[in-house]
């Protein structure tokens, strides 16, 4: 699974709580704000969301997109 990590820079106060709680080191501090630099490492635990007092972080699961070829093959298999 893949996840999108978003930090609202206007809400982020730079407390670094998300850096401390993230077990896969998604975040880095830049110019006093938390930035999801290694977003691809996110495991979707949402600990950062829970610890953020400013409600500045959102983690969304990305849904895989099916190619047209895969869709047609699946439709063919299911119609049998």
Angle at 54 between CA 49 and CA 6, to 5 degrees: 50
- What is the chain's mean pLDDT, rounded? 94
* End-to-end CA gap in the chain: 30
For range 5-17, the mean pLDDT? 97
Q: Residue 64 is part of which domain span? A: 2-79
Higher pLDDT, 64 or 38: 38
Radius of gyration of the chain (CA): 17
- What is the per-residue pLDDT across 29-51, written as a single tens digit (0 to 9) for each? 999 999 999 999 999 999 999 99
Query: Does residue 70 sit in helix, strand or coil?
Result: helix
Domains in the chain, number: 1
Reference 45, options 19, 24, 66; nearest CA is 24
Q: Domain of 30: which CATH number?
A: 3.30.70.20
pLDDT value for 80: 65
With cut-offs at 50, 70 and 90, classify the pLDDT of residue 52: very high
């Amino acid at each position: 699974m893949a996840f999108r990590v978003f930090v609202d820079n206007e809400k982020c106060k730079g407390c670094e709580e998300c850096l401390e709680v993230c077990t896969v080191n998604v975040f880095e501090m830049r110019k006093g704000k938390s930035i999801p630099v290694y977003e691809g490492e996110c495991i979707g635990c949402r600990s950062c969301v829970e610890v953020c007092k400013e409600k500045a972080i959102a983690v969304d699961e990305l849904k895989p997109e099916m190619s047209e070829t895969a869709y047609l093959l699946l439709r063919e298999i299911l119609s049998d």
